[in-house]
């Protein structure tokens, strides 16, 4: 499922078509079209191995696409040197020089990008490392390393920030801090593309979602549109689990697709009138002598819809 | 290239690096001088630049010849340093970090190498001065007359010796960098480099005469020694220059084409 409409008239920050990466016989990313509007926090979601990092690496000029064209910041994807000066990134974890202090690491990054070093204290303050800037990177905890990675990505005040799994390895408190930090650094003139294999880690800060799985695009569009595309389901739980098979057959005979689970039968409601379907199936069950212990419409949440999407439920 | 150069200098111009480098300079200057002067033969002219004699050390270039000989002990060490310094950037993922800020890969590599060589050039200059001073202090104990060392000819010989050692270091630097770029792993690059420049070349040298005129490690050794019976310094210089050019082209091709996935 693909939804491609941008929330305003401004050109997208990322617009690529047919992006593909093959390693021999393996296809890491398969012919995906991406559009990321300006000024959004875009969640780039997919299970481990879905192709998120490879896609980001192609956008950042680290990996050469096998096929595909497009633009990043309105400049050709084939010329990363033209646009990377306006991009900050943290890809595949924070990689810095362990013998250098936090400040020295940021100085290296700033010099490489041709940026001034006077912004370093402010950046350390922003990521909560102001009092640890003179400590060596090798002595940092994982959370501190991730935060230094964010600070390094912010050097030069980039228009596009690409963060690959910034919550990886963090404890719940660290994940919360990282989520708050992402919310803090996002603003109208800066677009953030943040990947994660767990929707719950980023959904609160994302207003745009891109979902990929097995290298293929499953969804892209507004976050609320993703939930709106989810299908509610009717759950029927018989009093006795021994009646589950009979109940499932009965539902199918009534013309609905039934999924038999361990303690219930579920019916995808698609465009049907939820109330009339519930009434009809309740009546059928009663007629067959099956007493329903539960009968309710289950509205999908974002996480369950995401899991259904990447596990094939919505393909 | 300037940006990569300046960034590399941030890493090099640190107190810790300075202290370790100073220690290495003192060890090479004092230890190397003692070994070179102690090993000098008491009589007879030097033949083809191979054997150092007390008489040749009394020549105008004697003081800096000590530096040249002492520095040659550290050749293998320098090779290891360059392989390790570049390969670790790939193994640690910091090459990726650098590329995200300086995506022009050739400029990045050239700037890094230029900074390392500039640092090496300064360290060599300091080492040469310290070696010369140490040799001058130790020379009387070996009955070496150092009067000619302070002449204009001595200065010219010093410049020539410094240039030779710098070229020799550059050879190791480019070959080591190329190996690191191709292998992208410190242990693998070091294993290949050490195996090649150590046992492989020297075993072949014993078994096959042309090896001395063909293999880069042996040519570098011959060059810094001022030539050997098998290959003179000029031929070694030209051959090394060719190797350096080929290695630089291979490194440039590899770094500009290959994906960065670590």
Give yes or no for a contact between A297 and A269, defined as CB atoms under 8 angstroms apart: yes
Average pLDDT over all residues of chain A? 85
Is a pLDDT exceeding 80 seen at residue B237?
yes
Is a pLDDT exceeding 80 seen at residue A203?
no
| A159 shares its domain with A125 | yes
Give residue-wise pLDDT tens across range A154-197: 998 899 999 998 888 778 888 888 888 888 888 768 899 999 87
| A111 shares its domain with A254 | no
In this structure, of A86-90, B38-42, B48-52, the range with the lowest mean pLDDT score is: B48-52
Query: How many structural domains is chain B composed of?
Result: 1
What is the b/e burial string over A122-138, where b = at least 16 CB atoms within 10 angstroms of the residue's CB? ebbebbbbeebbeebbe
**Bridge partners of residue A269, in order along the sequence:** none
Query: What residues of chain A, 58 to 87, have a C-beta less than 8 Å from chain B?
Result: 60-64, 80-81, 84, 87
**Which residue in chain B is spatially nearest to A154 when comparing CA positions?**
B101
What is the domain-level CATH number for residue A277? 3.30.70
* pLDDT reported for residue A67: 93
Does the beta-carbon distance from B102 to A96 stay under 8 Å?
no
Q: Is residue A162 part of a domain?
A: yes
Give residue-wise pLDDT tens across range A3-49: 444 556 778 999 999 999 998 888 888 889 999 998 889 999 888 88
Give yes or no for a contact between A39 and A188, defined as CB atoms under 8 angstroms apart: yes
Give yes or no for a contact between A13 and A72, defined as CB atoms under 8 angstroms apart: yes
Taking the C-alpha atoms of residue A72 and residue A160, their distance in angstroms, rounded to an integer, is: 9
Q: Is residue A113 part of a domain?
A: yes
| A80 shares its domain with A162 | yes
Report residue B44's pLDDT band, with 50, 70 and 90 as the boundaries: low
| A194 shares its domain with A247 | no
Q: Is residue B184 part of a domain?
A: yes
Q: Which of A228, A256, A282 is the last residue of a domain?
A: A228
**Which site among A20, A73, A95 would you substitute to test the B interface, given the most B Cβ atoms closer than 10 Å to its Cβ?**
A95
Give residue-wise pLDDT tens across range B117-173: 999 899 989 999 998 899 888 888 878 888 888 888 888 888 888 888 888 889 888
A245 to chain B nearest CA, in Å?
50
Query: Which residues of chain B are within 8 Å of residue A75 when distances are taken between CB atoms?
Result: none
Does the beta-carbon distance from A111 to B261 stay under 8 Å?
no
Does the beta-carbon distance from A63 to B259 stay under 8 Å?
yes
Bridge-based pairing state of the strands A233-238 and A265-268? antiparallel
- The candidate with the shortest Cα–Cα distance to A106, out of B135, A118, B145, is A118
Report residue B48's pLDDT band, with 50, 70 and 90 as the boundaries: very low
Of B10, B102, B260, the CB nearest to A62: B260
| Complex ipTM | 0.82
* pLDDT reported for residue B118: 94
What is the rounded (10 degree) CA torsion for B38, B235, B80, B18? 70
Taking the C-alpha atoms of residue B185 and residue B90, their distance in angstroms, rounded to an integer, is: 7
- The candidate with the shortest Cα–Cα distance to B198, out of B54, B61, B68, B75, is B75
Domain that holds residue B210: 2-257
Q: Is residue B27 part of a domain?
A: yes
First to last CA, chain A: 7
Residue B64, classified by CB atoms within 10 Å of its CB into exposed (0-12), middle (13-18) or buried (19+), is: buried
| A224 shares its domain with A256 | no
Q: Is residue B262 part of a domain?
A: no
Give yes or no for a contact between A68 and A218, defined as CB atoms under 8 angstroms apart: no
* pLDDT reported for residue A315: 38
Q: Is residue A4 part of a domain?
A: no
Taking the C-alpha atoms of residue A41 and residue A207, their distance in angstroms, rounded to an integer, is: 6
- Cross-sheet strand order for the sheet of A14-23: A26-36, A14-23, A67-72, A75-76
Q: Is residue B231 part of a domain?
A: yes
B64: enclosing H helix or E strand? helix B62-72
* pLDDT reported for residue A72: 94
Q: Which of A228, A246, A273 is the last residue of a domain?
A: A228
Residue B105, classified by CB atoms within 10 Å of its CB into exposed (0-12), middle (13-18) or buried (19+), is: buried
| A178 shares its domain with A61 | yes
Report residue B11's pLDDT band, with 50, 70 and 90 as the boundaries: very high
Of B16, B101, B261, the CB nearest to A109: B101
* pLDDT reported for residue B242: 93
The residue-averaged pLDDT of B66-89 equals 82
Domain that holds residue A276: 233-299
**Which residue in chain A is spatially nearest to B1 when comparing CA positions?**
A112
Q: CB-based contact (8 Å) between A96 and chain B?
A: yes
Report residue A311's pLDDT band, with 50, 70 and 90 as the boundaries: low
Per the document, the length of chain A is: 315
Q: Is residue B64 part of a domain?
A: yes
Q: Which residue has the tokens 């191979």?
A: B50
Q: Is residue A267 part of a domain?
A: yes
How far is CA B204 from each of CA B190, B207, B239, rounded to the nearest angstrom?
20, 5, 18
How far is CA B62 from each of CA A191, B75, B148, B237, B250, rounded to the nearest angstrom?
65, 20, 8, 22, 39
Does the beta-carbon distance from A57 to B260 stay under 8 Å?
yes
Q: What Rg, from alpha-carbon coordinates, does chain A have?
A: 24
Does the beta-carbon distance from B104 to A81 stay under 8 Å?
yes
Give yes or no for a contact between B148 and B60, defined as CB atoms under 8 angstroms apart: yes
Report residue A2's pLDDT band, with 50, 70 and 90 as the boundaries: very low
Taking the C-alpha atoms of residue A65 and residue A34, their distance in angstroms, rounded to an integer, is: 14
Is a pLDDT exceeding 70 seen at residue A272?
no
Taking the C-alpha atoms of residue B139 and residue A197, their distance in angstroms, rounded to an integer, is: 70
What is the domain-level CATH number for residue A153? 3.40.50.300
* pLDDT reported for residue A205: 81
**Which residue in chain B is spatially nearest to A97 when comparing CA positions?**
B94
A100 to chain B nearest CA, in Å?
7
What is the b/e burial string over B69-91, where b = at least 16 CB atoms within 10 angstroms of the residue's CB? bbbbebbbebbbbbbbbbbbbbb
Give the DSSP letter string of chain A.
------SSSSPPSEEEEEEEEEETTEEEEEEEEEEE-TT-EEEEE--TTSSHHHHHHHHTTSS--SEEEEEETTEETT-HHHHGGGEEEE-SS----TTSBHHHHHHHHHHHHT--STTHHHHHHHTT-GGGTTSBGGG--HHHHHHHHHHHHHTT--SEEEEESTTTT--HHHHHHHHHHHHHH-BTTBEEEEEES-HHHHTTT-SEEEEEETTEEEEEEEHHHHHHTPPPEEEEEESSGGGHHHHHHHHHHTT--EEE-SS-EEEE-TTS-HHHHHHHHHHHHHHTTPPEEEEEEEPPPHHHHHHHHHTTTT-
Q: Is residue A313 part of a domain?
A: no
The residue-averaged pLDDT of A208-229 equals 81
The residue-averaged pLDDT of B188-206 equals 82
Query: Which residues of chain A are within 8 Å of residue B98 when distances are taken between CB atoms?
Result: 108, 112
| A244 shares its domain with A121 | no
Give yes or no for a contact between A194 and A55, defined as CB atoms under 8 angstroms apart: no
Query: Which residues of chain B are within 8 Å of residue A104 when distances are taken between CB atoms?
Result: 10-11, 14
Query: How many structural domains is chain A composed of?
Result: 2
| A143 shares its domain with A24 | yes
In this structure, of A209-213, A279-283, A287-291, B45-49, the range with the lowest mean pLDDT score is: B45-49
Cα Dmax for chain A = 78
Query: Which residues of chain B are within 8 Å of residue A137 when distances are taken between CB atoms?
Result: none
Q: What percent of chain B has pLDDT over 90?
A: 24
* pLDDT reported for residue A149: 92
B66 to chain A nearest CA, in Å?
35
Q: What Rg, from alpha-carbon coordinates, does chain B have?
A: 19
**Which site among B4, B95, B103 would you substitute to test the A interface, given the most A Cβ atoms closer than 10 Å to its Cβ?**
B103
Report residue B51's pLDDT band, with 50, 70 and 90 as the boundaries: low
Residue A263: CB atoms within 10 A of its CB come to 12
* pLDDT reported for residue A7: 55
- The candidate with the shortest Cα–Cα distance to A159, out of A39, A256, A260, A51, is A39
């Amino acid at each position: 499922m693909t939804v491609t409409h941008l929330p305003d008239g401004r050109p997208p920050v990322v617009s690529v078509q047919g992006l593909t990466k093959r390693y021999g016989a393996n296809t890491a990313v398969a012919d995906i079209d991406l559009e990321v509007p300006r000024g959004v926090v875009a969640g780039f979601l997919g299970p481990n191995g879905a192709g998120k990092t490879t896609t980001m690496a192609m956008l950042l000029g680290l990996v050469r696409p096998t096929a595909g064209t497009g633009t990043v910041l309105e400049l050709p994807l084939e010329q990363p040197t033209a646009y990377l000066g306006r991009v900050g990134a943290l890809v595949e974890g924070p990689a810095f020089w362990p013998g250098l202090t936090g400040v020295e690491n940021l100085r290296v990054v700033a010099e490489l990008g041709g940026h001034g070093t006077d912004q370093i204290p402010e950046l350390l303050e922003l990521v909560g490392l102001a009092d640890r800037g003179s400590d060596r990177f090798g002595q940092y905890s994982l959370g501190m390393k991730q935060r230094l990675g964010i600070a390094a990505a912010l050097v030069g005040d980039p228009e596009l920030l690409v963060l690959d799994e910034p919550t990886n390895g963090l404890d719940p408190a660290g994940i919360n801090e990282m989520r708050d930090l992402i919310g803090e650094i996002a603003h109208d003139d800066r677009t953030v593309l943040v990947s994660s294999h767990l929707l719950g880690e980023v959904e609160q800060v994302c207003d745009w979602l891109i979902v990929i799985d097995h290298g293929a695009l499953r969804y892209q569009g507004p976050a609320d549109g993703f939930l709106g595309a989810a299908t509610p389901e009717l759950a029927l739980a018989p009093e006795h689990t021994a009646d589950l098979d009979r109940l499932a057959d009965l539902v199918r005979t009534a013309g609905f697709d039934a999924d038999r689970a361990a303690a219930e039968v579920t019916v995808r409601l698609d465009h049907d009138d939820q109330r009339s379907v519930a009434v009809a199936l309740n009546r059928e069950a009663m007629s067959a002598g099956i007493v329903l212990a539960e009968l309710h419409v289950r509205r999908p949440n974002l996480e369950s819809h995401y899991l259904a999407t990447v596990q094939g439920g919505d393909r | 290239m300037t940006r990569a150069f300046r960034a590399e200098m941030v890493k090099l111009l640190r107190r810790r690096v300075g202290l370790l480098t100073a220690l290495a300079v003192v060890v090479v200057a004092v230890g190397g001088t003692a070994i070179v002067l102690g090993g000098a033969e008491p009589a007879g002219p030097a033949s083809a630049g191979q054997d150092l004699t007390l008489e040749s050390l009394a020549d105008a270039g004697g003081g800096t010849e000590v530096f040249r000989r002492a520095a040659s002990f550290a050749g293998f060490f320098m090779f290891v340093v360059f392989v390790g310094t570049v390969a670790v950037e790939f193994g640690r993922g910091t090459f990726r970090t650098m590329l995200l800020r300086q995506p022009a890969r050739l400029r990045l590599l050239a700037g890094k190498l230029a900074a390392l060589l500039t640092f090496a050039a300064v360290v060599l200059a300091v080492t040469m001065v310290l070696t010369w001073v140490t040799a001058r202090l130790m020379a009387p104990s070996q009955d070496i007359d150092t009067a000619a060392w302070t002449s204009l000819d001595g200065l010219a010989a010093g410049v020539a010796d410094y240039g030779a050692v710098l070229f020799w270091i550059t050879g190791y630097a480019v070959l080591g960098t190329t190996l690191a770029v191709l292998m992208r792993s410190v242990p693998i690059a070091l294993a290949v480099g050490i195996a090649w420049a150590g046992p492989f070349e020297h075993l072949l040298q014993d078994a096959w005469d042309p090896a001395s005129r063909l293999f880069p490690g042996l040519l570098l050794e011959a060059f810094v020694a001022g030539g050997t019976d098998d290959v003179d310094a000029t031929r070694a210089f030209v051959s090394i220059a060719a190797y350096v050019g080929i290695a630089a082209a291979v490194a440039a091709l590899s770094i500009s084409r290959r994906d960065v996935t670590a």
